[in-house]
Amino acid sequence: MANLVLTTNEKMTCSYEYHIQKLAKKATRADLFVAFFTDNKLIKTWLKQKMEVNLCVSLRPPTNPYTLQEVYHICDSIKYLGKEFHSKICIFYSGSKIIGAVVGSSNMTQGGLLKNIETNIVTSNPDLLNALANEVKRISEISSELEPEDIQRYILAYEASKKQRKAAENIFSKFKFRKRKSTVATKQFISKTAKKYLAFWRAIDEVSSLVKAISEREWPGIPVYLTIDHFWHWLVKVRYSDIDKPISRSAKWREQNIPQLFLQYSKWDKTNGNWTIEFQRRSTAFRRMLRERRIDSLTKNQFAEIYAKLNSGYNSAARFQTHVAFVNENNLPSIRKALKYLLYSSDDITLRISALLRKNGSLKLKYFGPSNVQELLGWVHCKKMPMRNEKATKGAQLLGYNL
């Protein structure tokens, strides 16, 4: 069955919103591949109903970065393309079965949902559904994971274009998308750890927004990702050392309590070693040693020193000399190649992490596991990415984030 649907602001029963809502009532998953995204109210409703939502958009006006931010940490996946992306395909699943799709001219905007004259086809025809699912898969494979840094960069361009509408075309011609034509990783292999890093990053960005003012007041000049890192230690080992399950899963609870907890932590940190200041010094050392052009000149001893300074490497280095094993059982060219790719490739972060963790992969290093990989990213790129290790994950889980 395929129905031609003309969507106008006069015929509410024919609207795009009406038909996707009708499909959503029977669905457990929605893949929304739409060029422009300015209205997230439907997605918020579906996510509250525990529906899986995968979103792909064109990162250019009128796509609204703030609307994306509001659902960024709760969507299962958000990807993007540039000005070349203009598709509008919405596919709905019940379990693993496709139950229907809408394809046509409507974007996820107020106009597309209700107001504009739009033309869409609503279908449950198996052949057409399979063809649309294959097209969505193809688009997904050439798209990029939306990372927090992408949103922040897009906000700058978006705001500039609002102020200078006449110069918008010139502004966006200068907005450079990261090119990801990887020669060492494929989008067919994304590890669970890499996906969880992106979920962790989203959660930490929510925490960052709640504590940023306190962080800047207590530790001026230190990136908030660094000030948060020892906060996890305090939560797990000091404040809630006797608790293994989430304190609360309520977003409202987090909004009210995380700033208070962080303020308590800041007072504790300053009377218990000033670890945040130490982390700033350590991050500076990591960034100096691991500059892209310097990596190829680092020696085995220097790589061993870097390994031993990681939170995830310190104890094992002291007890089992793993920093020595790391440099002895991986040759120098392999270490240099792997770390340059991890830290400086323009590939999606999920691809980079996956490449270093893939068993028998060309970039897999012995004694360099998930915590080492994800922590090093945060040390070197402390203004752009958080550090993730087992303690950080447990701390975020205590605050109710589903990781």
The answer to whether position 184 is within a domain reads no
Q: Are residues 163 and 240 in the same domain?
A: no
Domain boundaries, position 53:
2-173
Half-sphere exposure of 233 (CA within 13 A, CB side): 16
Q: Are residues 42 and 88 in the same domain?
A: yes
Q: Are residues 115 and 215 in the same domain?
A: no
Give start and end residues of each alpha helix (H) in 110-191. 110, 126-142, 148-163, 168-173
pLDDT at 12 (0 to 100):
53
Given pLDDT bands bounded at 50, 70 and 90, which one contains residue 10?
Answer: low
Count of residues in the chain = 403
Q: Are residues 164 and 238 in the same domain?
A: no
CATH number of the domain encompassing residue 17: 3.30.870.10
Q: Which among 173, 205, 231 is the end of a domain?
A: 173
Q: Which residues of 154-193 are buried (b: 16+ CB within 10 A; e: fewer)?
A: beebbeebeeeeeebeebbeebebeebebebbebeebbeb
The answer to whether position 403 is within a domain reads no
- Give pLDDT tens digits for 270-281: 999 899 999 999
Confirm if 150 and 57 have CB atoms less than 8 A apart. no
Strand arrangement, sheet containing 2-7: 2-7, 118-123, 97-104, 88-94, 29-34, 52-58, 77-81, 144-145
pLDDT at 187 (0 to 100):
52
Q: Are residues 200 and 169 in the same domain?
A: no
pLDDT at 9 (0 to 100):
47
Domains: count for the chain: 2
The answer to whether residue 293 scores a pLDDT higher than 60 is: yes
Q: Are residues 128 and 32 in the same domain?
A: yes
pLDDT at 201 (0 to 100):
94
Q: Which among 173, 205, 229 is the end of a domain?
A: 173
pLDDT at 161 (0 to 100):
79
Q: Tell me the mean pLDDT in the region 344-356.
A: 93
Whole-structure pTM value: 0.74
- Give pLDDT tens digits for 52-88: 999 999 999 999 999 999 998 888 899 999 999 999 9
Q: Are residues 225 and 357 in the same domain?
A: yes
Q: Are residues 144 and 274 in the same domain?
A: no
Q: Are residues 37 and 94 in the same domain?
A: yes
Element (H, E) at 287: helix 275-289
Question: CB neighbours (10 Å) of residue 333?
Answer: 9
pLDDT at 17 (0 to 100):
87
- Give pLDDT tens digits for 16-36: 888 899 999 999 999 999 999
The answer to whether position 222 is within a domain reads yes
Question: CB neighbours (10 Å) of residue 356?
Answer: 27
Identify each DSSP E strand in 148-294 by its residue range.
none
Amino acid at 79: K
Q: Which residues of 23-62 are buried (b: 16+ CB within 10 A; e: fewer)?
A: bbeebbbbbbbbbbbbbbebbeebbeeebebbbbbbbbbe
List Cα–Cα distances, 257 to 260, 269, 295, 397, in angstroms.
Answer: 5, 18, 42, 15
The answer to whether position 179 is within a domain reads no
The answer to whether position 187 is within a domain reads no
The answer to whether position 303 is within a domain reads yes
Element (H, E) at 258: helix 251-270
Q: Which among 120, 144, 173 is the end of a domain?
A: 173
φ/ψ of 299, rounded to 5, equals: -95, 175
The whole-angstrom separation of Cα 355 and Cα 364 is: 7
Q: Are residues 34 and 85 in the same domain?
A: yes
Confirm if 232 and 388 have CB atoms less than 8 A apart. no
The answer to whether residue 4 scores a pLDDT higher than 70 is: no
Given pLDDT bands bounded at 50, 70 and 90, which one contains residue 1?
Answer: very low
The answer to whether position 181 is within a domain reads no
The answer to whether position 393 is within a domain reads yes
Confirm if 259 and 210 have CB atoms less than 8 A apart. yes
Q: Are residues 114 and 161 in the same domain?
A: yes
φ/ψ of 359, rounded to 5, equals: -60, 130
The whole-angstrom separation of Cα 391 and Cα 187 is: 29
Q: Are residues 363 and 318 in the same domain?
A: yes
List Cα–Cα distances, 384 to 120, 226, 352, 374, 378, in angstroms.
Answer: 40, 10, 15, 13, 8
Mean pLDDT of the chain: 89
